[in-house]
Structures are given as C-alpha cells and as structure tokens.
Amino acid sequence: MVQHASFIFILDSDANEITAVARFAEPLALTSVFPYLPEMIRSFGIEQNDVAKWAGITSAVFSLSQSVTAVPWGRASDRFGRKPTIIVGLISTMFFFCVWGISTSLPMAITVRAILGSGNGNVGIIRTMVAEMVPEKELQPRAFSIMPLIWSVGSIFGPAFGGFFARPADRFPTVFGDSWFFKAYPFALPNFIAAVFFFISVTTATLFLKETLESKRHKPDWGLLMGERITRSFRRSHSHHHHHAGARRTSFVDGEATAPLVPHKTPPTHPVEDNKTLEAPSMREVFTAQTSINLLCYTFLALHSVAFDQVLPVFLNYPKQEHTPENTNLPFQFSGGFGLDSGRIGTIFTIYGITCGVIQFFVFPPLCNYFGVLRCFRACAFTFPIVYILAPYVVLFESTAGRYTALLIVMFVKACAVIIGFPCMTILLTNSASSLRILGTLNGFATMFSGFGRAFGPAVAGAAFSWGVARGYVITAYWFLALTAIIGAIPIYMLVDYDALTQTPDISDDEEESVSDEGYASDGSVVASGSGNVTSNETAPLLSAKNGVPGYDSVSTSRS
C-alpha cells in the first residue's frame, strides 16, 4: 500500500507537475529545428552534398558550448539554488531562439547556436531536482521517466509546428504572402511560437517552482509568495468544495508532503548549514570508479543517439535516387534519400515523438521494474548497432509503402532503445553518487561529457554522410554510428547497480539495526554526517528500500 501510494505521489505531486511545465519548452523548441534545418542551411547558399556536414557542425557547436558551461551551471545551482539557475537558463534560451530564427548567414547561425548552448544548463539541474525529490529506488523508474516523457511530448509538438510554420510566406500565401518580414526571415515563425512556450515556462517556474537545494529550500521566495496570492482565491474555492480532501492533502509547492503518503517532516538531527559554509564537493568525491564508468557510458550514448537524430532529417531531405547497376553495388555501395520537405519530415518526427511518449510512460517503468535497470540498459546497448546498420537500407525498397514501413520500423526500434536507455543511464549515474550533496556537480559533469559526445557525434556523422553520398556510399555515417555504439557498449559490462544514493547493498531488518554507528539512526533513517551529507528523518522512507522490490534484487550490487 505504501509503494502504491508513493507512486501516486510521484505522478500527482505539484512539484513534478511544475518541474515538467518548466522543462516542456526546451524539447519543444529544440526539436522544432529538425524538420527545417536542412532547408535553412541550403538557404545560406550551401550545396546539397554539404548540408549534412554543416548541419552536424551547427549541432556540434551547440552541444560543445553546453558541455563547456555545464559544470559552472551545476556549481551555480549548488551555490545559488536550482530554481534561479533554471529561470536564468530559460530566459536566455527564449531570447536567443528568437535570434536564431532570424539568422541570415551560416556564421550567424553557428554563433547563435553556440550562445544557445552556453546559456542553459537546465538538463543536469532538473535531473538533480528529480533525484532530490525522489531518492527511493523502486520509485526512480517512474520518477526519472517523467522528464524524458516531457521531452517526448515536446518532441511530438516541436517537429510538427517547426515543419508546419517554416516558410510561412510560401506555405500560407493568403495570410503571410505580403509579409516582408517572413519573406526575409522564413524560419522565424516557429521560433517565435517557441518563445511563447518559454515565457509560460519562466512564469510557471517563478511563481510555483519550489527550491529543492537543502540550504536554500527554507528561505523566503518572493515568486512563491506572488504565486500564492494569485492562486489563493482558487484554493479557497477548492477548499470549500473539497474540505476533507484539502485537510488531508496540502500543496507540495508549499513545502508540505502529502500527509497519508509520507510521514510528517521532523527537524534534522543537526541544523542544516548555510550554503556559504558548505564546501564545494571535491573532485575525489565526484569521480569514483563507478561514476567515471557511468559518465563514459553516458557520453557514448549521447554521441551516437543524438548523431542519428541529427543525420536522419538530412537523410530524409536528401533527393531520391534511382538505383541502377552503374551506381549501386550491394551490399555497400548505394545512395539516395527520401526527398522530403520540412512539412513531411515534421510529420514523421511527430509520429516518432508519439511513439517515444507511449514507450516512455507505459513500457519503460514496468519493464525496468521487472528486469532491472542494468539489464534493460545492456539490452538497449545491444540494440543500437543493429538499428544503425540497417537504417540506410530502407531506401532500397522499391515501393513507397515499403520504404516508409521499413523507416518507421527502424525508428520505432530506435525509439524503444533510446527511451529506455537514457532514463536507465540517469538512474545508474544518480545511484553511483555518494550523496545528494554532489548531485549538482555530478550532473554538471554528465552534461559536460555528454555534450562533448553530442558535439563530436553529429559533426563527424554529418561529415561522414557528406563524404559518403558524394561517393555513392550513404551507409558511411550510419556504420560509423554502429561502430561507436559497439565501442560504447564495452564499459557497460563494468557497471554495477547500487541502491539509491546509499552505495550499500539492500539489507534485512535485523542488519539494519546494527548499522546505526555508521550514520544510520536505529529507526533506519539517515542522520547528518560531518562531511555535510545532511539528510533528515523526512527521507527515511525514501532511503530504506528493501530487496523485496520486484525486479531489483537481481541487479542490486554492493561496492566490492
């Protein structure tokens, strides 16, 4: 009953809902670029065969800039709080997305993408917030699937309006045909629409998002006070009609957990130190053997997965080619794409996003609970090379229906692998941390290293695609990704799945009583330590997961 109630708490808590709203604008805006990026690059005067190379470079500078600034953003969130850092990142991204939409040259576009990457470190920070809210291991598959689910939902709408509203003067001549602005800046409208969603995210985060950093969470927040005033009348009305429910369940945003689900908050054993007196986590604390292996695996996963998503729209946009004995020598030499415009590419990516959302919410949590995080991640690592090797061969089907069916099958399998793989990787990385205190820095490094992968992968894959199609080998980029995925799968077999932020194996009730001398209270709750790893009895139910949870006893491993 407690586990069932806790799952409801994870899904229905105001904190997760508001964090999701704050996160929604970013995937929506970032994925809206995919359908029209090849056309945008061609509009700068770039030759067709070079589009993939420059699309990869454009993506690479974004990821490289994001990786360089990820650790400073993570440390800023450890020092100043998660909430203000997230808001600053959202505002920066909102402004420069509008500038990106009015780019008139390739150098300008690349520069703006670099600024976009450096101005936002929210990926790692929001991941840290989720970990701070939900350190209980059996709840992590559901909790860590919420943010990727938001990405999936954003990726449904992003490509749809990105492809639909690009070139509005040509697509909707009766409405925008006389607009000099949209003739001069044909890719501005999707970005202006994305800016509206960013504004909603900024407003929601300012008014309703609760700080999760321990040293900042109890300090006054003018944004929350203003949000409280705005919603007071609605809450009074709700309280009048649902008096009994309101008495039992109060807002998580106000810092109160749901009464029937989580015990009342008790003061920590030691006062929480002010953030100024807490030392920053040392590199030795952050880079343990397991965190280092996890970071390496995460980097390779980001490298080949993001590179595939970057090359795919270029592949779909590349002109169709009739395969003859003169230009085709199977199984390696053949070329050609689908010859699709931005609108149709947007439709395909929308179908892809819907598939990802269904997998994320309905398939991943039960699958992960049954087989375990580590086993699921290893299965995904085995799947990626197969997908990449087979992907270019879909153009060999003679019928249109055959080509599209094969394409959608490949994209579906890839969606399964990436949607299961990334949350599993996040859980493994989070559980390899020695304490909640280092999560901001650790996730900053995760964003940094994965950013290097996201930069290197699209740049090299794009160059390989351009080089290959010029010589009749469209497989070049995809087989490079397959080789990368195989290499990246090797260190996965050195990973272990620790208990959530405890770095110890699951223990029985009798054994639990005997460890109170090592930082655990006799009731099983974690007390403050001299290192600053402060937790309170409030987290007792979250850190005492037992081996009886289905699906985890087979992979839960202690430190050797």
Lowest mean pLDDT segment, chosen from 13-17, 213-217, 503-507, 536-540: 536-540
> Which whole-number Å values give the CA distances from 196 to 132, 192, 227, 392, 415, in the listed order?
29, 7, 20, 37, 28
| 27 and 154 Cβ atoms separated by less than 8 Å | yes
Q: Over 50: is that where the pLDDT of 35 sits? A: yes
Residue 522 tokens, joined? 């006799």
- Distance, CA of 466 to CA of 38 (rounded, Å): 13
> Which whole-number Å values give the CA distances from 267 to 30, 95, 102, 538, in the listed order?
42, 42, 53, 8
Number of helices (H), then strands (E), belonging to the chain: the values are 23, 0
DSSP state of 3: H
Residue with the two structure tokens 């600034």: 69
Q: How much is the mean pLDDT over the chain?
A: 76
Lowest mean pLDDT segment, chosen from 42-56, 259-273, 465-479: 259-273
Q: Which helix (H) or strand (E) holds 79?
A: helix 51-80
Residue 75: count of CB within 10 angstroms of its CB: 17
Q: Given this model, what pLDDT does residue 281 score?
A: 62
**Alpha helix locations (H) across 214-317?**
222-241, 243-248, 283-286, 289-317
The residue length of the chain stands at: 560
Give me the domains of the chain, ranges plus CATH numbers.
Answer: 2-212+282-494 (1.20.1250.20), 509-542 (no CATH)
- Distance, CA of 151 to CA of 360 (rounded, Å): 10
Lowest mean pLDDT segment, chosen from 138-147, 322-331, 545-554: 545-554
pLDDT tens figures, 137-151: 556 556 665 666 677
Contacts of 426 (CB under 8 A, 6+ apart): 127, 144
Whole-prediction pTM value?
A: 0.67
Give the distance, in angstroms, between the CA of residue 194 and the centroid of all CA atoms in the same chain.
Answer: 18
Q: Given this model, what pLDDT does residue 277 score?
A: 42
Q: Helices 122-133 and 400-431 meet at what angle, rounded to 10?
A: 60
Q: Helices 289-317 and 342-358 meet at what angle, rounded to 10?
A: 140
Q: Given this model, what pLDDT does residue 148 score?
A: 64
Q: Over 80: is that where the pLDDT of 257 sits? A: no
pLDDT tens figures, 153-193: 777 778 877 888 888 998 888 888 888 999 999 999 999 99
Q: Helices 289-317 and 373-390 meet at what angle, rounded to 10?
A: 30
Selected residue with higher pLDDT from 502 and 167: 167
